[in-house]
Amino acid sequence: MAPPEVLIQLDMESGGVSPFGLPAEWTLLVDPAVSQAEELIVGSGIRTSKLLVSGYSLSQIPGAKTCAITRQ
């Protein structure tokens, strides 16, 4: 879970932090397996809703970098 100061900075709820709308100076790390996924469910900024996106869309967010995070 994100620390309270991060939630305040993002104006998002705990349990609902979204990869969209992050500060420009933050880097979003995306594993190649995630970027190839057809459907992902991610936070929308509030806990009571989620977003359905493709892995490709996630990897195209400004500031996103695809890099191996998991081991195979």
Q: Say if residue 71's pLDDT is above 70.
A: yes
Confidence of residue 72 (pLDDT cuts 50, 70, 90): low
Q: What per-residue confidence (pLDDT) applies to 46?
A: 94
pTM, two decimal places: 0.81
Q: What per-residue confidence (pLDDT) applies to 59?
A: 96
DSSP sequence for the chain: ---HHHHHHHT--TT---STT--TT--EEE-HHHHT-S-EEEE-SSTT-EEEE-HHHHHTSTTEEE---S--
Mean pLDDT across the chain = 93
CB burial of residue 28 (10 Å; 0-12, 13-18, 19+): middle
Q: What per-residue confidence (pLDDT) applies to 31?
A: 95
